[in-house]
A = this chain, B = another copy of it.
Amino acid sequence: MSWSLQEVSKHNNTKSCWVIIDKKVYDVTDFLQEHPGGSSIILKYAGRDATGAYEPIHPSDALEKNLSPSQHLGPVDNDAVDSLEKAEASKKKTKDELRVEQFMKKRPPLNRIINLADMEDVAKQVLSYRAWAYYCSASDDEISLQENARAFQRFFFRARVMRPVSKCDPSTKVLGFETSLPIFVSGSALAKLGHPLGEVNITKGCAPSKIIQMVSSNASLSYAEIAAARSPSQTLFFQLYKHKNDAIALNRIREIEQLGYKAIFLTVDAVVPSNRERDVRSPWVLDDQETGIKVYNDGEGAADTDPGLGVAGALIVNDDRDMTWEKTIPWLRSVTKLPIVIKGIQCVEDAILAAEAKVDGILLSNHGGRQLEYSLPPLEVLYRLQIQQPHIFDKLEVYIDGGVRRGTDVVKAVCLGAKAVGLGRPFLYAQSAYGEVGVRKIISILEREIITTMRLMGVAKIDELTPDLVERVDWQPVARSAKL
């Protein structure tokens, strides 16, 4: 059976709500109240084609996981296919789409990308404004975002000379899994916003160098699609956003265990949505761009509708806000044998509690500055941990992420005790800008930078990178400028 557009259009309200996605019809009436992003965004497309809004932010198995078979109503009819294709073809491009189209004609060849800032520059122009705003946004005034990076600048090297470095090996292990460099892909959501192939670009780009990818619960591809894209020897970790319903959380864990994910990074720094203003403002920016400055003239009684949670907020609305050391870790240990890492430790005291809870590792992170504004930069937390509680590093593995953009950044963190260093946005930017080869490119840049830094410090192996090789200075160096 197939459906005419006319028939579908009748189901345009809360009592009966149908939507068309990729030329198939779905009855989402009962799902309206369960949708994490709220019902109003669905109702905006009730009785109509919702493909354009749906696809970039939902994994392919979302309809299957969330709707019962009876809610899958089947395809639209041939006339409808024609109509939808014509509508698509005749759709006027927005100014933002035209901007991207123009830029793609002069996108620089890949060999001109020589550092991660270059890659970010290309990504900024390749990305839709909405995607850019989602990726780069951080909390409030984006102070923690910037301070994460500035922290690295306060650590200088005390380089050693006259040491043999012709052979230099930057490989190491994370939770026992090999990696050619002390870096990994830190979990981040919605890669499809930046590139139609999404997270798989990262998976494939990491394969040759055995860089470990941590896949987010909120990936825009299904966990299975990502797992399927990996090479035989490639390691994937899973970033768990724990559902408040333990049973649903357990389903997710079982799924990724079966898919062969090798560790669970439990996210603890994002229990509630945060305030990412660039993200909240992005629809207004686009709207004003299309229509010019409007005359509002709304008077003082102007309707004050809530701007909503933004994409990021919607993703975590059902997560567990009451996790505790006493309850959550033992439960997790009881249901899985995978190594457990706590992602989002932000002070020394909680690092101690994590060690007492006998988890396998901690990721010092403030979620890339996207959650608690004025959370200490992870590198500063790492430094305090190294100074105040050096024995912790014997009890569990310590990682950091946030603000890492250069090989020197990676080496500093490893000197201060980090087993490995996560990068999030740089991988999103790389796959957005050039897809899989973009990912390979930034790995090769980081490899060159890390090896060069190690050699110029007189170091030939990762475990020779020790705290005495760095010094925290008492001034703030000049800011990095994007281009020289």
- Chain A: residues with CB nearer than 8 A to chain B? 104-112, 114-115, 137, 140-143, 146-147, 150, 153-166, 268-269, 271-275, 277-278, 280-281, 284, 293-298, 300-307, 321-325, 328-329, 342, 344-350, 353, 366, 371-376, 380, 406, 408, 412, 434-438, 441, 448-449, 452-453, 455-457, 471, 473-478, 480-481, 484
| Least distance between A274 CB and chain B CB atoms (Å) | 6
Cβ–Cβ contact B350 & A408, under 8 A: no
Give Cα A347–Cα B162 distance, bound, in whole angstroms.
12
A306 and B271 contacting across the interface, CB-CB below 8 Å = no
Return A16 CB to nearest CB of chain B, in Å: 30
Assembled-state Cα–Cα distance A141/B483 (Å): 8
Asked whether A376 lies within 8 Å of B158 as measured between CB atoms, the reply is yes
Q: Are A477 and B147 in contact (CB under 8 A)?
A: yes
User: How far, in angstroms, from A130 to B476 measured CA to CA in the complex?
Assistant: 31
A293: nearest residue on chain B (CB-CB)?
B106
Residue ID in chain B nearest A138 by CB atoms? B484
Residues on B with C-beta less than 8 A from A305 are: 111
Inter-chain contacts of A161 with B (CB < 8 A): 268-269, 323, 342, 344-346, 350
A437 touches B106 (CB 8 A): no
User: How far, in whole Å, are A163 and B320 apart by their CA atoms in the complex?
Assistant: 11
Q: Once the chains are docked, how many angstroms separate the CA of A295 from the CA of B478?
A: 35
Asked if B274 and A304 make an inter-chain contact with CB atoms under 8 angstroms apart, the answer reads: no
Closest to A377 in B: B156
How far in angstroms is the closest Cβ of chain B from A280?
6
Min CB distance A349 to B, Å, is 7
Distance in angstroms between the alpha carbons of A380 and B157 in the assembled complex: 12
For A456, what are the chain B residues with a Cβ–Cβ distance below 8 Å? 269, 271-272, 274, 371-372, 375
Contact check, B162 vs A350: say whether CB atoms are below 8 A apart. yes
Task: Establish whether residues A294 and B162, one from each chain, have CB atoms under 8 Å apart when the complex forms.
Answer: no
Q: Given the complex, which residues of B lie within 8 Å of A158, measured CB to CB?
A: 346-349, 376
Give CA–CA (A162, B242) in the complex, Å: 12
The reply to whether B106 and A303 form a contact with Cβ atoms under 8 Å apart is no
Chain B nearest CB, measured from A320 CB (Å): 8
A-B contact pairs, 28 of them (CB 8 A): A105-B297, A106-B296, A107-B298, A108-B296, A111-B304, A114-B281, A137-B484, A140-B408, A143-B477, A143-B478, A147-B478, A153-B374, A156-B374, A157-B374, A157-B375, A158-B376, A159-B366, A161-B268, A162-B268, A162-B324, A162-B350, A164-B321, A164-B322, A166-B321, A273-B452, A300-B435, A300-B437, A373-B408
